[in-house]
Structure 1
Amino acid sequence: MPLDRRLELSPEEMRALGHRVVDLVVEHFSTLAEQPVAASASRAQMEARLREPPPDAPRGWEATVDRVAREVFAPMSHPAHPRFFAYVPGPGNFVGAMADALAAAFNPFAGAWMVAPGPAQVELVTVDWLRALCGLPEAAGGAFVSGGSMANLTALAVARHRRLGEDFGRAVIYCSDQTHSSVERGARVLGFRADQLRKLPVDGGYRLRMDALQGGVAEDAARGLVPFCVVANAGTTNTGAVDPMPAIAGLCRAHGMWMHVDGAYGAAAALTEAGRRALRGMEEADSISIDAHKWLFQPFECGCVLVRDGGALKDTFRLVPEYLRDSDRATEEVNFRDWGVQLTRGFRALKLWMTVQVFGMDALRDAVAWGVRLAEAAEQELRASQAWEVVTPAQLGIVTFRHRRPGLDDAGMDDLQRRMTAALAEDGFALLSTTVLDGRTVLRLCTINPRTTEDDVRETLRRLERFGRELA
Structure 2
Amino acid sequence: MRAAGHHAVDLVVQRLCTVADGPPHAAAAPAALQPLLGEPLPEEGGDLTGLLDQLTQDVLPLGIRFDHPRCFAFVPTTGNYPAVLADLLSTAHLSVPGAWLVGSGPSAVELTALNWLKQLLGLPDHWGGLFVSGGSLANLTALAAARDHQLGGDLTGARLYCSTQAHPSVARAAHLLGLGRDQLVALEPDPDQRLDPRNLTAQLDADLAAGLRPFAVVATVGTTGTGAVDPVTDLARLCRRHGLWLHVDGAHGAAFALSGRGHDMREALGRADSLTFDPHKWLFQPYETGCVLVRDPELLKATFRMARHHLDTGYLHPAEARHGEVNFDDLGPQQSRGLRALKVWLSLKTFGAAAFRRAVDHGLHLSDHAAARINAHPGLELTSKPSLGILTFRCRPGGGSTDPATVDRLQRSVSDAVRATGQALVLTTRLRGRTVLRMCTINPATTTADIDTALDLAHRAVLAADPRL
Same fold (TM over 0.5): yes
1:327 aligns to 2:314 (yes or no): no
Q: Name the structure 2 match of 1:401.
A: 393
Once the two structures are superposed, the pairs formed by residues 273-292 of structure 1 within 5 Å of their partners are 273-277=260-264, 281-292=268-279
Structure 2 residue identity aligned to 1:394: P
Report the alpha carbon displacement of residue 70 of structure 1 after superposing the two structures with TM: 2.1
- What 5-or-longer segments of structure 2 have no aligned partner? 308-312
State how far apart, in whole Å, the 1-side matches of 2:411 and 2:82 are: 37
- Secondary structure of 2:116's match? helix
What's the offset of the Cα at 1:278? 5.1
What is the aligned partner in structure 2 of residue 95 from structure 1? 82
SS at match of 2:292: strand
Cα distance 1:194–1:350, how it changes in 2: closer, same or farther (>3 A)? same
Within the candidate set 99, 116, 133, 1:112 is matched to 99
- How far, CA to CA, are the matches of 1:211 and 1:125 in structure 2? 40
Q: Name the counterpart of 1:250.
A: 237
User: Which amino acid in 2 is paired with 1:356?
Assistant: L
Partner of residue 463, structure 1:
457
2:343 equivalent to 1:356? no
1:307 equivalent among 291, 294, 300 = 294
Q: For 1:142, what is the secondary structure of its paired residue?
A: strand
Residue 337 of structure 1: aligned partner: 329
Q: Is the 8 A contact 1:136 1:284 kept in 2?
A: no
Superposition deviation, residue 137 in structure 1: 2.2
The alignment partner of 1:85 has SS state of coil
Quote the residue 1:184 is aligned against.
171
Asked if the contact 1:242/1:278 (under 8 Å) is kept, the reply is no
Counterpart of 1:395, as a letter, is S
- Alpha-carbon deviation of 1:210? 1.4
Q: What is the DSSP-based 3-state SS (H/G/I as helix, E as strand, rest coil) of the residue aligned with 1:273? A: coil
The alpha-carbon deviation at position 279 of structure 1 amounts to 6.2
Give the distance between the partners of 1:220 and 1:135, measured in 2 at CA: 35
SS in 1 for 2:156: coil
In 2, the alpha carbon distance for the partners of 1:207 and 1:408 equals 27
Residue 54 of structure 2 is aligned to residue 67 of structure 1: yes
SS at the partner of 2:435? strand
Cα distance in 2 between the residues matched to 1:347 and 1:169 = 38
Runs of 4+ in structure 1 deviating by more than 4 angstroms, as ranges, are none
Q: 1:428 aligns with which of 400, 405, 422?
A: 422
Tell me how far 1:135 sits from its aligned partner: 3.2
Q: TM-score, normalised by structure 1?
A: 0.95
1:235 and 2:229 are equivalent in the alignment: no
Structure 2 CA distance, aligned partners of 1:338 and 1:272?
33
Query: Is 1:33 aligned with 2:20?
Result: yes
Question: Number of residues paired by the alignment?
Answer: 459
Q: Deviations over 1:250-289 (max 9, x none)?
A: 0000000000000001101100121233565221000000
My pick for the range that moved more, 252-261 or 27-36, is 27-36
SS of the residue corresponding to residue 381 of structure 2 reads: strand
**Given the alignment of the two structures, is residue 373 of structure 1 paired with residue 383 of structure 2, yes or no?**
no
CA distance in 2, matches of 1:100, 1:418: 38
C-alpha distance in 2 between matches for 1:212 and 1:470 = 44
TM-score, normalised relative to structure 2: 0.96
In 2, the alpha carbon distance for the partners of 1:95 and 1:250 equals 41
State the distance in 1 between where 2:150 and 2:321 align.
29
Amino acid of the residue matched to residue 373 of structure 1? H
**Superposition pairs of residues 206-225 of structure 1, within 5 angstroms:** 206-225=193-212
**What SS does the corresponding residue of 1:362 show, helix, strand or coil?**
helix
SS at match of 2:270: helix
Q: 2:444 aligns with which of 446, 450, 462?
A: 450
